[in-house]
Every structure is written in structure tokens, then in C-alpha cells.
A and B are shown apart, each in its own frame.
Chain A
Amino acid sequence: MNDIKKTGKFEFPKVYNFPPFFTEQPNSNTFQSQLEQWKDVIIKYCKFNKLFALSITGKPLESEKDELDNYEDNDEEIDDDDDDDNDNEVGNNDFSIFKNDNINRTVSNQFIRKIYEFLIESEAGEWIDLKNKNHGILIYWYGIEEWSQILYDWIDNTGQLNSILTIYEIRKGNLSINQEFYNMNNHMLIKILNNLVNQGKATIMKDENNNIVGVKFGGV
């Protein structure tokens, strides 16, 4: 049900319904083009659905969702009962891009890892946490430089240079609702901001726990 809702509009390429696509091809040439095609599908799929990160099993990762889930779990402890189905409705999306129920095929974890490594190699992805790759991968449908430009242009065009913005505000604020970076993964945004800091276009502000919470953009 949910799968259809979330991905219904996205049309996967024909190759996605081709069973061998889901198995690592022994021929190295074929394998290489298989990787390219996977990269293409993943980027298009993520861009279409505005997904900024995928789990290690290919499910959408939304950094904000976890907080809400935890909160709800607490709530349930009070009035217990069988709300498990409700829980799923609230936002869990079990659809994995590496699992095609139509042809009953799933990409193996090993192969997923290889596809992810390929994405990272071609600068279309980055591990959320290099030390723990199980945290998932950021998917760059735009490169870091491009995202930096998009963000900075938006700041400039909306007259927000030299004012203070919280990270949350950029990701979820009313002003950014129609922007492509709306709802962006926190880790990705931090990486983009760091890039802008290196270019001398921004200064990052941290809270008492040394978390990056705010940013001030400036002219160059």
C-alpha cells in the first residue's frame, strides 16, 4: 500500500523488471554497465521522491522521522494495545529500491554494498558515517558544489545574507518549503554548509554540545 503511495508516480526503467538486474553479473563489462544503470535508477528514484538518504537495505531514510517514532513509542507505553498497524501508517515506508516484488527479486546485501561503493566512487553518494556504514548512504542527485550553489543562491535571492538561520529552519522552514533542499537530510546539509564555510561564504554556529545548529551566510 505504502509503496504504491510513495513510488507510484515514479516509473522505473524497464531494466528494473529484468530479473538479472538484481544479481551481480559475472562478466566485468556487464557488471560495470549494471552498476551504471543502478546508479541511474537510484538517483532518479531519489530525486523524484525527494529522498536524500537510503538505508543499508535501500529504504528511504528520513532523519526527522526517528524522533517522531521515538516519541510515539513512549506514548504507546501508556495506552499500550495493538496499534502496531497504526504505527506503520504514520510514516514507515518499507519499500526498498533493491526489492522488486513484481518479479520477486532482491539485491543481496553484498551487491548493495558494491552499488553504494560505486555511487560513492562516482561522487553521487557518501556514507553518512564512514565508521559505521550501516547508518546508510547520502544520495547526491546534485553534487555538493551544485547544492552549495543552489543553497547560497536561495539565501541571496531571499535576502537572508548576514542573518542567522538554524539548520532546522533551512530544512523545514516556511521559506524553504518549495525549495529542492526542503526536508534535506541533516548530514547532507552539514556537508554542504561545511563546503560553503570553506569557500568563505558561511560561518557555522554550534550549540553547547558542539552540534552544528546554526549558520550565517555572508557575501564574498
Chain B
Amino acid sequence: MGNTTSSTSPSNPKITAHDKAVLQLKLQRDKVFKSKQKLEVIINHETKLAKKFIKSKELEKAKLTLRKKKRQESLLNNLERQINTLEELIDTIEFKLIEKDVLYGLEQGNKVLKEINNEMSIEKIDKIMDDTADAIAYQNELSERLGTQLTNGEEDEVDEELRLLEIEMGVVKSTPHVIKEDTTKVKQKLDSIPVVPSNIITNEDQEIGGEEEEEENDNRVSQLA
């Protein structure tokens, strides 16, 4: 066997030693197969010849031809058996190659699995879980502190906004007295801080003037009541 590879493109399939061996076997099989075909032609030919000799009454020649034919027929049988043997061998090799591939695949899979398992050692997981717990605790502490900081000044305002919204939506029915108190409070705050929760309620009115706003609030409240 000579040099067998010819690669013009990098993606061309690679020829392995196994491939070369299979090729040799297959070539051998082809060769035997061709001889078989030739033999078949000859046998066919000899039958015709024998007939011809019989016609021309050359019985000795006919017999000779038939004898020759017989010999070739047994040769043909041999060839057929050889082809069979070769094909069996080729099949076995190809099957073994597949088995090898399967084995390789299993090996690779196993390797990957091991690697992944290594990355997931118990200690590592424990450590990560600990770290996570720490982080969660830290986060809780942070929110707690931030939470207390917020309540001091603004918790009242938040409560108030909540109540106002509730009233507006009619969820809570409150006595006029309470409402009046509330609205005055709101007004005070409107004077001091431009951005207050009541903003949401009286967006447009604020541009015109705070007093009107109070009236409006009153109107609305009485409507509600």
C-alpha cells in the first residue's frame, strides 16, 4: 500500500491505519469478485461451446469442454466461499471499530462526569452554602438598618399618604373631623415642601394655588361623605 492520503481541505476525513486495512480487504474482495464474474462468463461460454461440439458430432471435444467447465465451476464455488470469508472479516472489523468508538464515547463521558463531580465536592458545596447564609444574614442586617433609618423622619408621612389614598379610594370612611385635621396637615406640608404625597391627588390645582386645593379637598371629602 502506498501513501494514501490526499487532503486539499482541512475538513476532509482522516484515513487511519484501520481504514487502510479495511481498504486492502475490500480490494481483495473486489478482485475475487471480478474473477468470479469472469469465470461465470467463461462457464457460460463453455456451455455454448459444448453444445456446438455436440451439434458437429465432436463428442470428445464436447466432453473435454464439459470437464473443463466442471473444474471451473468448482473454482467458482471456491471463489464464492473466499468472498464470503473476506466479507465476514470486513464486517467483523467494521463492527469492532464501532465497538471501539462506543468504548471511546463511554470513556469520554465517564471522564467528563468525573470532572464535574470533582468540581462539586461536598466541602465546596458546604462552603458555598455557608457563604450564602452569611450573605443572606448580612443582607438582612443591612435592610434592617436601612429600615430603621427610614422610619424616623418619613414613616409618618408614609402613613399619612396611605391614609389619604385610602380615603380617596373610599376604602376607609373617616369622620369629617379627622379629615379636616388631615387636610390642614397636608396644606402645611404643601407650603413647606413642594413634593409631598398629596401631589398625586391635586396635580393641576397646585399650579393655580394652594388655597383652591384645600377647597377642592373639602369638596371631595364632602362628596365622599
CB distance from A163 to the nearest CB of B (A): 6
Q: Which of B5, B22, B49 sits near A203, CB closer than 8 Å? A: B5
| Chain B count of residues within 8 A CB distance of the other chain | 33
Q: Which of A83, A162, A207, A216 sits near B2, CB closer than 8 Å? A: A207
- Chain A residues, CB < 8 A from B12: 197, 200-203, 218
Given contacts A166-B27, A203-B5, contact A216 B13 (CB under 8 A): yes
Contact between B30 and A164 (Cβ–Cβ < 8 Å)? no
A216, B18: Cα distance in complex, Å: 12
Any chain B CB within 8 A of the CB of A112? Answer: no
Given contacts A72-B45, A213-B27, A214-B23, contact A206 B8 (CB under 8 A): no
B35-43, B133-141, B146-154, B201-209 - the one binding chain A: B35-43
Any chain B CB within 8 A of the CB of A67? Answer: yes
Contact between B41 and A71 (Cβ–Cβ < 8 Å)? yes
Contact between B11 and A200 (Cβ–Cβ < 8 Å)? yes
Per-residue A-contact encoding for B80-116, CB less than 8 Å = 1, 0 else: 0000000000000010000000000000000000000
Any chain A CB within 8 A of the CB of B14? Answer: yes
Contact between A217 and B30 (Cβ–Cβ < 8 Å)? no
Q: Which of A162, A198, A206, A220 sits near B3, CB closer than 8 Å? A: A206
Contact between B13 and A83 (Cβ–Cβ < 8 Å)? no
Contact between B27 and A75 (Cβ–Cβ < 8 Å)? no
CB distance from A44 to the nearest CB of B (A): 30
Q: Which of B6, B9, B27, B34 sits near A207, CB closer than 8 Å? A: B27
CB distance from A16 to the nearest CB of B (A): 33
A residues 190-215 in Cβ contact with B at 8 Å: 197-210, 213-214
- Chain A residues packing against B (C-beta within 8 Å): 67-68, 71-72, 75, 79, 81, 83, 86, 90, 162-166, 168-169, 172, 197-210, 213-214, 216-218, 220
Closest 9 CB pairs of A and B: A218-B13, A200-B9, A200-B11, A168-B30, A214-B23, A205-B4, A164-B22, A208-B2, A203-B12
